[in-house]
Amino acid sequence: MPTPKKHTTRSRRDMRRSHDFLEVVNTVNCPNCRSLVKPHHVCASCGYYKGKEVVTAKA
């Protein structure tokens, strides 16, 4: 097995891990059916986007 040449400090290790955490997904309420939707995305439950039905929603 290869061995690391330099010791990784706590600071360097934690800086590397600063991007590893999950972020809270932002949601808005669908103006048509009030369910939670991602902004600028078609609503998954009613298929509406910008006040119009653009996709036929699944039953």
Cβ 40 to Zn ion, closest distance in Å? 14
The neighbouring-strand residues paired with 52 are 49
Residue ranges in contact with Zn ion by CB under 5 A: 30, 32-33, 43, 46
Gap between the Cα atoms of 33 and 45, Å rounded: 8
Shorter beta-carbon distance to Zn ion: residue 2 or 51 = 51
Cβ 56 to Zn ion, closest distance in Å? 13
Shorter beta-carbon distance to Zn ion: residue 10 or 33 = 33
User: Going by C-beta distance under 8 Å and a sequence separation of 6 or more, which residues neighbour residue 55?
Assistant: 42, 47, 49
